[in-house]
Structure 1
């Protein structure tokens, strides 16, 4: 379904949609993640939208209008709980805008026969670009050099930053995003290794059967694996020590995959060369324990955010939902 741009629409006007005749009534949709007014307007062309991006608004909408919702749009870090699903007896479809869906209770959805879709493929290039930006910034010490320049410090007084190229990049999670990161790494003459639950047969890169063995081999360790209980603190003190004082860590996946306390300790002790993080265990609160660590580059979970990526994600949600209500398979099904 092609989406045409509309003028921005206020949140209040979306919540006060005029009643429609029953035969043309739009399905009721609850949106839990932040969206720009123009994107809300695009979705509101097709659905009766209730917008609840804050915890208080979310609780109110579920309690007040839960029985009416046939679809929910959320993101992986916000999710949708079993209790909320139970409060929505008409719910048929839950979609995550991004690829992640770790906090959507998929077991409850499966039990209820609720379809689940995601935004797989809509922001892969954007995330891969950002992963390389974080790697370049930390390896080449761009933020520190920027600060030094503003303070009038010339290069002779600064530590040398190593080449990025000609090294080994290890990727934890060689899904669609991981493969795009690998493509970019090849452009920097990097040798690529990876760890998955099982080897892939469609890539030429070297497979490692554990994160530890990958970290021992790699100069750079890029985290691109899904979040959740199975991957919580997968990158811990032993893995960071295996990566070593000349090694660099980049995480564009989920904050829970990296043990933040272990990372802070490794950076302060010089056991790790540097890190670039777009995600944290504490988010949306900043990782204050990393603020005074040497050579760490931080961004506020924006790796998958660009005008192009957000529009593609909104478009894919609309198409997923259109297909569901038309009785067709989702373009990006989870369940």
Structure 2
């Protein structure tokens, strides 16, 4: 067990939120042939979030703001629950390009984890400035995450916490030697030192590989998530011929052998997978683990699949005090991500 040396703490997603950071989609290339549908799906997403809490919505400019405002009015969304942040972006994936907001003592601190397009996409010049812009808008000081004199790259979708010192992540995302390498030559000990210093993490649970089709190469928010301080939901594939079957079984085994920060074993709850979804012969990373926890509800991606209802029922048992709401994600997933990937919570 490691001891933390400062007052930083990465709050769990279920802790009280000021609001949710979203960015209205404007890069049609992320959703080929679906851009129009995705915009209206996003309006529905905003409507659901705005019912429960404030939406901090990044838009490219005043023109887009006016257009979006009209769409929101058409959908009968309470506009007082939407605050606009004007900032041009390359993409809309706030989980990864947005700041990770932690508590530092009694204050909040916005961490800039130096987004680099998942070590895959080059057009990220605008997205690199999102943490600074959001921090300025919310009056939260921004800190660039550094280690041994170098900027550290970790996306929000690569990590999940119980708010008590344990963090979930995957080796495929952070430790692969030559595919989408975020931090060359980083060891597990290096990552754990960074997580300790900046997130107050004393215990890291490393899973293996992510799901097929995940263009982030192994993000944890498509795999497994904390639902309370000692309970983790993890996805499993029941078809032994499916490429996801073995890696997800391996992850399940690791979780069953894992320990929390207090030395106890976590409670493991299994979530099903939707049936295989493809676009142009490419598998899409459809996963019920990409849910978003709000103050009084949980928004869950659904895929017009027979397992949708099962996943919603399982998650309703995991969150007895929150309403569980399914949101159709069959359009979003064409961009290789859904509700959690598109959002970032802002703790109070």
Q: If the TM-score is normalised by the length of the shorter chain, which range does it land in? A: under 0.3
Bigger helix share? 1
Which one has more relative contact order, counting CA pairs under 8 Å at least 6 apart? 2
Question: How high is the TM-score relative to the length of structure 1?
Answer: 0.27
Question: How high is the TM-score relative to the length of structure 2?
Answer: 0.26
Bigger strand share? 2
